[in-house]
Chains A and B, each alone.
Chain A
């Protein structure tokens, strides 16, 4: 959000207002963001915000999530990025993110929510896209199988990627066990995804980054 007023003027005014009101509670509190309404609405930013209904009706690629809550963590936000392509970058940010649980962010200090599931089309993000250095050194990871499909574990198991059909499902978690439980609990968020215990195998070329996105 960008203010129309110079911050040097607004900051002291804001401090005065808060003092006069006898409260320092920010507009959006942690408690507010944990209730089910905010989980459904994601963020109250008008018609462009991505909602649970939007996720159910989403038809661009299969979506997987953990439902309205997971491990006592409520669904607190649904994010949607669909950036424009950038020259020199093969991977375009194009995903739906399901955020579970909350954390307390402060000035200059964002915080990682306890769990997030991001679903990307494999034509944008695939294992073959990763490189640590420009000479192609690999980003450290360990290959495994989860729910019957190839998976890669990054960041000491706190990031797990499942490659199924034509999507890459990325799980970010607080502890490795929670990430694995989340992988086991993934289920369909829209009609294109599968609810079977064994997920569909990745389509030919998906993991090698050979898929082309429909324009």
Chain B
């Protein structure tokens, strides 16, 4: 074999090898990227106990980019107000600010409210996913917004369960419901009015199509 032929062969092998390596890497990345998330929103990054604020109550899947999720929520719920504080989400160890938020009223009204952020990695089964913290919060004159506590003394579900339910009612019949999964993220959070509010631990899954309204 001539030097030139050997050289061509080694270059060819290198190209084939590099291509296979890239394909293997892509495949390995895709296979390992299963849905994963921190089960609470955060006041700041990184994800840690003292930064927790709200439980995640909803997961959107399919083609759930932040913009598309907000578009479908706005259309089906009529929640149009975008005022509120910034919170953060974490998945795969990557923490970042929410993509956006929507509410049924202004920052000076009792309202339904949700913040959204896309999950870091797509999932082979669930596609592009995003998480939300749907809740109902009362406007308390001396401190601002406080999530309803629910429980024995009120006979009502907590504000987090009310938010999840409001989204369920708005999406039912128009969006594919993936089901409810139990994460057990029931930690109770003290609110500015002194009450404690927590989720019942369920997360609803909603399919978001690839088109927007």
Contact = CB atoms under 8 A, between A and B. Distances in A.
A71 interface: no
Interface stretch (B12-20, B65-73, B143-151): B143-151
Nearest to B129: A133
A83 B151 CA distance: 6
B50 A174 contact: yes
A97 B188 contact: yes
A64 interface: no
A57 to B, nearest CB: 14
Nearest to B201: A91
A27 interface: yes
A112 interface: yes
A133 B158 CA distance: 23
Interface string B152-173: 1110011001000100000000
A50 B159 CA distance: 19
A33 B194 CA distance: 8
Contact of B194 (A28, A79, A82): A28
A90 to B, nearest CB: 8
Contacts of A33: 194
Q: How large is the interface on B (under 10, 10 to 19, 20 to 34, 35 or more residues)?
A: 35 or more
B192 A131 contact: no
A118 interface: yes
A183 interface: no
Contacts of B142: 14, 18, 26-27
A53 interface: no
B179 A134 contact: yes
Contacts, number: 189
Contact of A154 (B35, B178, B184): B184
B196 A77 contact: yes
Interface string A78-98: 011111101011111101010
Interface in B42-70: 43, 49-50, 52-54
A82 B191 CA distance: 20
A1 to B, nearest CB: 6
A62 interface: no
A109 interface: yes
A108 to B, nearest CB: 5
B187 interface: yes
A3 interface: yes
Given A1-B138, A3-B139, A7-B141, A131 B190 contact: no
A50 B183 CA distance: 26
Given A91-B200, A134-B181, A135-B125, A110 B191 contact: yes
B108 interface: yes
Nearest to B187: A172
B53 A109 contact: yes
A165 interface: no
Contacts of B106: 8
Interface in B102-131: 106, 108-110, 125-126
Interface of A: 1-3, 7-8, 10-11, 13-14, 18, 26-28, 33, 43, 45-46, 48-50, 77, 79-84, 86, 88-93, 95, 97, 99, 102-103, 105-113, 116, 118, 125, 129-135, 137, 139-140, 154-155, 158-159, 161, 170, 172-175
13 contacts: A3-B138, A3-B139, A14-B142, A26-B143, A26-B194, A92-B200, A93-B157, A106-B143, A107-B144, A110-B197, A129-B184, A131-B181, A172-B187
**A-B CB proximity, top 9 nearest:** A107-B144, A110-B189, A48-B153, A28-B194, A93-B200, A134-B179, A80-B152, A7-B139, A14-B141
Given A79-B149, A107-B85, A107-B143, 15 more contacts: A1-B140, A8-B109, A33-B194, A81-B152, A83-B157, A83-B161, A90-B182, A91-B182, A99-B188, A105-B146, A105-B192, A108-B144, A116-B188, A132-B36, A133-B35
